[in-house]
Structure 1
Amino acid sequence: MGSLLLVLVLVTCFVGLSAWQVDRAQHKNDVTDSAGVDELKDFNDVMDAQAPMPGILADQRVSLSGHWIPDAQVVIPGRVQDGDSGYWVVTMFAPDGAHLGEGVKVADAEKKTIAIPVVRGFATDEDTAMNSEARDGQVELTARIGPIEGPVEGNDLPDGQVHTVSTSQIINLFPDLLTYSGFLIPETADGAAASVGTDGLEQVPTTTTRDEGGFDLQSAVYALEWIIFAAMALYMWFQLLRDDYVRRRLGEDSQDSEKRVEYVVVKPAGDATIDPEVMSGLTGLPAHRHGGKKPGKNTGKKPESNNTDTSTTGGNSA
């Protein structure tokens, strides 16, 4: 009963955790929404150059002003928008008031410009993407911060194209720049040099890097695992119960068998031979096969003689 109580407690905990994972799978955006990512914040208050970006800043709305660096631009193939495959045009943007992270020291930092990659638009045509240029001038942006992508070798691509928005890879192309561990997808761009969604480019939705809902497969798998753990706990308790039952039954059977043991005296103490009748009962063979008497044969009486006394009948002497 103690083990059953423990198993029931474990099963209750496992089922509760599974239900929590299911709820999380259905409402996976609640944490993001509660983190205040929709609140508009100043870019320089939340982002530091040359410093890691906290994951909580992913999808954060920010406002900033600055100018484009038209010569620092890359095109990223393999992007999909509204079901169409095409290219992102990513141009480096120098924010006003940009600063390095606390404690970060970079050689010749005063000779370099701090800039962040900004997705200016999408095009299905490669020539349109490659020939698009940002304008010179002041720009004010409202954007969302996108988590940086991992670098991918791009030797198979034409000059000016890379596979991902990787700041480490982009900076290798433009060594005179310092950058951030993230990129921006503009919501709005104001000013004569806005250059977002212009010259044949379509503006990229800010929901591109956001998780807008649906069912979280990872949380669903975790929920299934907790159910499996609960089933395993019940199975292990059943196995222990069955083993105990079998052990008890075996103990009772051995005691009963000891009570039913019958002993047969084959040879009394001091006798040199075994009683043929006893051996017959054990082997099933006739007793005479074990040295006993054959049935129907009487060896204790002598047969009567049929000879007559001729001495008295042979004749009388005259």
Structure 2
Amino acid sequence: MFTTLLRPKFWAGHLAMIVCVSAAVGLGIWQLDAWHTRRADAARDISNLKPVGLGTVMDGDSSFPGRSVGRPVSFAGTWLADSTLYIADRYVGKKRGYWVVTPVRVDGSQSVMPVVRGWSAKAESVAPTGPVEVTGWLQASEGSGPVDDDPHDDVIPMMRLASLVEHVDADLYSAYVVARDVTGQGGPEAGGLRSVSAAAVPDVSGFTALRNLLYAIEWWVFGAFAFFVWARWCADSWKDEGESEVDPAAAAEVEPA
């Protein structure tokens, strides 16, 4: 069988199998590595690094820089007091309450950065006004979760930027900041709020970069299918070759009278 299938007429089929399976395995490994890398980037703790200017990490038109989750950043701007929102089901110890979020229009930009000013037991606070300088931890938008039952109030179920868009009449950064230090109005102390630390941000979801993992599995399934097709082709080709090489005279001798 192997001698037959190694004839030059079959080389193109073998080469096609090798190329397809190698490509599928390689692309699967690449997607698996991307899955590991993105999850590692999302989970690593860089919250104790020295703060850098927000503009060195991203601008209002940038997608979220995955390797900067939890990075301390600083920026100056002006509070948008009328757009203050409350994120439900946030805890301090065992106490359930709200994150108080007020956007800041960043100086030198037309975009707005949502800032988590602190935690409150009730969905109410003194909205700050005027200029401010903020230093805090950069965070990515939270993923899927509960739907906002009442989009007309100022309480939303998750820190999801798609939900904030409905309440903030300005272009939003693709991120938010958990305030650590606030110079000017709006600090946790001034509003009677409790500080929120980077540790209070939800952990990396099990669904983070799940698409990359599914792509890896998908590529390997394609590779297995290509190998299966090649194996069937080899079996059929060997059978056809064997039948074509049978001596007609010898076949006639064994035929019944």
Report the TM range for the smaller structure's normalisation: 0.5 to 0.7
Specify the alignment match of 2:59 in structure 1: 47
Map 1:222-261; keep pairs closer than 5 Å: 222-251=215-244, 255=248, 256-260=250-254
SS at match of 2:201: helix
Q: Which amino acid aligns with 1:64?
A: F
- What residue is the counterpart of 2:132 in the other structure? 139
Q: 1:195 corresponds to which letter in structure 2?
A: G
- Cα deviation per residue 1:149-188 (whole Å; 9 max; x = unaligned)? 799974536833234443431135xxxxx34333532352
| 3-state SS of paired residue (1:131) | coil
| TM-score, reference length from structure 2 | 0.66
Amino acid paired to 1:162: I
Which structure has the bigger radius of gyration?
Answer: 1
| Paired AA for residue 99 in structure 1 | S
CA gap 1:93/1:31 in 2 versus in 1, 3 angstroms: closer
Residues 153 and 28 of structure 1, relative CA distance in 2, 3 Å threshold = closer
Letter of the structure 2 residue corresponding to residue 119 of structure 1: V
Using a 3 Å threshold, how does the CA distance of structure 1 residues 242 and 82 change in structure 2: closer, same or farther? farther
**Alignment partner, residue 281 of structure 1:** none
Question: Which of 172, 185, 188 matches 1:180?
Answer: 172
Question: Partners of 1:215 and 1:115 in 2: how far apart?
Answer: 26
Give the stretch that moved more between structures: 234-243 or 58-67. 58-67
* Contact 1:120–1:196, Cα closer than 8 Å, also in 2: yes
Q: Specify the alignment match of 1:276 in structure 2.
A: none
Q: Percent same amino acid at aligned positions?
A: 21
Unmatched segments (≥5 aa) in structure 1: 101-113, 173-177, 264-318
Q: Does the Cα contact within 8 Å between 1:119 and 1:204 map onto a contact in 2? A: no
Q: CA deviation at 1:251?
A: 3.7
> In structure 2, what is the Cα distance between the partners aligned to 1:206 and 1:242?
60
Q: Show the counterpart of 1:161.
A: 155
Matching of residues 198-237 of structure 1 within 5 Å: 199-205=192-198, 208=201, 216-237=209-230
Q: Is the 8 A contact 1:122 1:204 kept in 2?
A: no
Q: Any gaps of 5 or more consecutive residues in structure 2?
A: 1-5
1:92 aligns with one of 83, 103, 115: 103
**C-alpha RMSD over aligned residues:** 4.3
Residue 65 of structure 2, aligned match among 56, 77, 94 = 56
Structure with the larger RCO, 1 or 2 (CA within 8 Å, 6+ apart): 2
Aligned partners of 1:13, 1:83: CA distance in 2, in Å? 51
Number of matched pairs: 235
- Counterpart of 1:196, as a letter, is P
